[in-house]
Amino acid sequence: MKAVTRKTYGFWILAMLTLLSACSTSLREIPQEMASDTALAMQETQHAEGTESQELVRSDDLSSDDADSEPVRFTFPTPLPPPKSAWRPPLYDVPWAPGPYDHFYFTRPIAADEVNWPVADYRYGGIFFSSDIVHTGVDIPAPRFTPVLAAGNGRVVWAGYGLYYGQNNPNDPYGLAVTIRHDFGWQGQRLYTVYAHMERLNVVNGQVVQQGDVIGWVGVTGLTTGPHLHFEVRTDRNSYFTTLNPELWLSPPIGWGVLVGQLRNTNGSLLTEQDVIVRSWKTNQKWTVRSYGKSAVNSDPYYKENLVLSDLPAGDYEIIIDYLGKRFTRNMTIRPGQVTYFTFRGEDGFQSEELPVPDIEDILEAFNP
């Protein structure tokens, strides 16, 4: 992750002060790296005000590069709920990993009897108010007091106000929030999930939770103007700067898949805030998804993506990108329970549907977890 200077922080804070808030076969057993991650277990204690202190078991553990940095201030917009579909399949059992670099390890934090998929306009990496402020999670619209469920087994390491600022602060943008450190990991790194804007909490710091436990209820606390759940996945450290796209971690409905893209301009730089239209040949339904903004988001180490669209029924689709006055199209097939991948490069159009060739470090990790 690239370093963020204090000057940039100052700019972000000044910008935000002017804004009003709104807010192939499945692996049925936990991958070996998940089991081996227990070697990274740490002893955590929580101060009364909600801050997290950590005493690591291993001396070669992770650094805290951002510990002394002033955090970026940001807001959470309020999504408008999409219309509910009449029926969706149940999810694949977790952990779901059809490929060696997949990690659909989490269930949905909202039960299946409610909308439990990300609202289209508030996905990971979205831009809402300023090109320097991007969305670090997904928003799931739900009525106030809808139960919020633990997405996996673990221990609560934050419960209350102050998740962003690191102290008990009712004005914290996350509002009433919970962070769970999960008892499994990925590629030797810890995994955390964050649940924000809750009305009430049902857990306390240090409490052990199981997948599906009610940890709180959807609310309107923090910087938001309507009820919804803000959900994040974090790796390595429990930090705003270590998020990854939750749509690559939430198990898909059975028979449905995930579209992942890497978009670059003609010169090879990442193409940010680019609209992509996805159209089903079978139903003619259209989805519009936008590539990530420039800062504060991270691509998956393997896919190196800047666009994800999950929960697509398996079938044939047309991918449409308008770039510099020219329309580019590509027919692609979404496969059940799997990632369908593409690359695009500016005026050269679509390049490949082959999965990325992993870096040598990825190969070594796969064979020596």
Residue showing tokens 């002893």: 43
Domain topology for 256-352: Immunoglobulin-like (2.60.40)
Predicted local distance difference test score (pLDDT) of residue 79: 53
Predicted local distance difference test score (pLDDT) of residue 127: 65
Tokens linked to 61? 């553990």
CATH 2.60.40.10, the chain: domain bounds: 256-352
Give Cα separations from 210 to 29, 130, 132, 151, 153 (angstroms). 17, 38, 36, 8, 4
- Could you tell me which CATH number the domain at 6-56+70-248 has? 2.70.70.10
Specify the pTM.
Answer: 0.75
What DSSP line would sit under 273-316, residue for residue? S-EEEEEETTT--EEEEE---SSS----TTT--SEEEEEEESEE
Predicted local distance difference test score (pLDDT) of residue 330: 98
Q: What is the DSSP letter of 232?
A: E
CATH 2.70.70.10, the chain: domain bounds: 6-56+70-248
- 164 contact partners, CB below 8 Å, separation of at least 6: 71, 172, 173, 174, 240
Q: Tell me how far apart the alpha carbons of residues 126 and 145 are, in angstroms, rounded to a whole number.
A: 26
User: Mind listing the pLDDT tens digit of every residue in the chain (369 residues)?
Assistant: 444 344 444 434 334 333 334 343 333 334 444 333 433 333 333 333 333 333 323 323 333 344 344 444 444 555 555 554 546 789 999 999 999 999 999 999 999 877 677 766 678 877 654 555 677 889 999 999 999 999 999 999 999 999 999 888 889 999 999 999 999 999 999 999 999 999 999 999 999 999 999 999 999 999 887 899 999 999 999 998 999 999 999 999 999 999 999 999 999 999 999 999 999 999 999 999 999 987 778 999 999 999 999 999 999 999 999 999 999 999 999 999 999 999 999 999 999 888 888 876 655 554 444
- 100 contact partners, CB below 8 Å, separation of at least 6: 366
